Structure 1
Amino acid sequence: MSLPQFITVEGPIGVGKTSLARLINARYGFHLLQEIVEENPFLGRFYDNIDEWSFQTEMFFLCNRYKQLNDLSKQYLQRDQSVVSDYNIFKNTIFARRTLSAGELDKYLSIYDILTADMPQASLIVHLTASVETIMGRIAKRNRSIEQNMDPNYIRNLRDDYEVFLERYSVEHPDVPILVLDGDKLDFVERPEDLDFIFQQIDAILKKEQPTHA
């Protein structure tokens, strides 16, 4: 029996992670794991004042994602059931390094290391990226009240942080394939041919073939 797959879809806010994870779920029948976002009681205040509310916001996300992944491992992966998730827990460190002060970051990373020491690792990471203009347009389109004051510079920095992090991750974890998809070129929600292209890339990776670049 083949090992269960654990696909994580990652990228900056508003790039389409949840939409793609749901489409992968529908195509492959993997269990769908979605991150808790709007339930975070600090998030609205965080976007209004990042310095004041960053630690509370990041700790809430970390604890909830830890609980989700711990349950996921026991209920699905350890029972040979494949999973697709619209986040990878490493995103916590990307956001924390951008938002926390040096003193807070040291404390946060210590807790992160303890909680994630035995977490399940992705068998495939799908990295969605796009221009700031595309991302801001998608954020506006989904019209979440907590995101109305989103700063484009914050999105730009976050997008760049993902690029740097995943370049380093690919070197440190050469056994984990990373499929990079350009959201400026691919519209997998509106264009079925783009979605078919993405599925071809995923099929190739799952079959241990080398995908072409989008």
Structure 2
Amino acid sequence: MGQIPFIAVEGPIGVGKTSLAKKINAHFHFSLLKEIVEENPFLGKFYDNIEEWSFQTEMFFLCNRYKQLEDIDTKYLKQGKPVVADYHISKNMIFAKRTLKEQQFEKYSEIFHILTDDMPRPNIMIYLHASLDTLLERIRKRGRALEQNIQASYLEQLSHDYEIFMNQFEAEYPDIPVIRFNGDELDFVNRQEDLEYVIKKVEKSLKEGEVVL
């Protein structure tokens, strides 16, 4: 018996994760799971002072994302309902490792693994990446007030961290295909041919992984 599709779209801030997840949802009619961002009461303070507010911010995200992942498992996947999400909880470790002090990170890592080690992993990971200029322009265009204080240096380092993480993810989970798309070259929101290219890649991966469509 094939797997129930669980697709996660990942990449740095502003790269277009939610936009692509919505497009995949519209094409395949999967259940759409969107990351909770604006509800984090610490996020605006975090972008103003990363060192001061990083632990509170990361713990809030971890608890919310754990609850969402639990819901994916019980309300969707175990009910035979495919899911596309605009993030996966494994991203937490990218941000936590970058922003937390060593002792904080050790505690955070313990809690993370206790909560998530037995939770479902995606059977397809889509990784969007783009240049710093593209990310900054997209963040500016979408105009989220709490993102306007993001430092370019932080975003650039985050993109580098994502590259390292995705390489490690592929090595650790060779059975989970990672589909990479360059956000500088593709505009799947405004160009139909780019969207069709992306959809074909996803369809091919679904068939090769013997997931149930």
Q: TM-score range by the shorter chain?
A: over 0.9
Determine the C-alpha separation between the residues in 2 that align with 1:84 and 1:117: 20
- TM-score normalised by structure 1 residue count: 0.96
- TM-superposed CA distance for 1:71, in Å, is 1.2
Distance across 2 between alignment mates of 1:148 and 1:174: 37
Mapped to 2, the partners of 1:168 and 1:71 lie a distance apart of: 27
Q: Hey, what's the Cα distance between the residues in 2 that align with 1:62 and 1:129?
A: 23
Kindly state the Cα deviation for residue 172 of structure 1 after the two structures are TM-superposed.
1.0
Alignment-derived partner of residue 28 in structure 2: 28
Aligned to 1:201: 201
Instruction: Tell me the distance in 1 between the aligned counterparts of 2:82 and 2:23.
Output: 15
The residue that corresponds to 1:117 in the other structure is 117
> 2:11 matched to which residue of 1?
11
Contact 1:25 1:84 in 2 (8 A): yes
Post-superposition offset of 1:80:
1.0
Structure 2 counterparts to residues 1-214 of structure 1, below 5 A: 2-208=2-208
Question: What do the CA deviations read for 1:136-165 (whole angstroms, capped 9, x no partner)?
Answer: 000000001001111111111001101001
| Aligned equivalents of 2:177, 2:115: Cα separation in 1 | 24
Deviation string 1:107-150 (CA, Å, 9 cap, x unpaired) is: 00000000002111100000000000000000000001001111
For the 8 Å contact 1:3–1:80, the answer to whether it is kept is: no
Measured against aligned partners, the alpha-carbon deviations of 1:53-105 in whole angstroms (never above 9, x if no partner) come to 00000000000000011011101100111000000110000000010000100
Aligned length in residues: 209
SS at match of 2:208: coil
Asked if the contact 1:6/1:123 (under 8 Å) is kept, the reply is yes
C-alpha displacement of 1:2: 3.1
Structure 1 residue runs without a partner (length 5+): 210-214
* Gap regions ≥5 residues in structure 2: none
- Report the Cα offset of residue 24 of structure 1: 0.4
Q: Output the amino acid matched with 2:16.
A: G
How far, CA to CA, are the matches of 2:164 and 2:69 in structure 1? Answer: 25
Structure-2 separation of matches of 1:120 and 1:33 = 14
For residues 34 and 97 of structure 1, the distance between their equivalents in structure 2, rounded to whole angstroms, comes to 23
Please tell me whether the aligned partners of residues 48 and 149 of structure 1 are also in contact (alpha carbons under 8 angstroms): yes
Q: Which amino acid aligns with 1:35?
A: E
Percent identical across equivalent pairs?
55
Partners of 1:115 and 1:90 lie apart in 2 by: 11
Please tell me the residue identity of whatever aligns with 1:76. Y
Looking at structure 2, the residues matched to 121 and 35 of structure 1 have their Cα atoms a distance apart, in angstroms, of 16
Check whether the contact 1:170–1:176 (CA below 8 A) recurs between aligned residues.
yes
CA distance in 2, matches of 1:101, 1:2: 42
Give the Cα–Cα distance (whole angstroms) in 2 for the partners of residues 123 and 80 of structure 1.
Answer: 14
Q: TM-score, normalised to structure 2's length?
A: 0.97
Query: What is the Cα deviation at residue 3 of structure 1?
Result: 2.1
Q: Greater RCO between the two (CA within 8 Å, min separation 6)?
A: 2
Correspondence for 1:212:
none
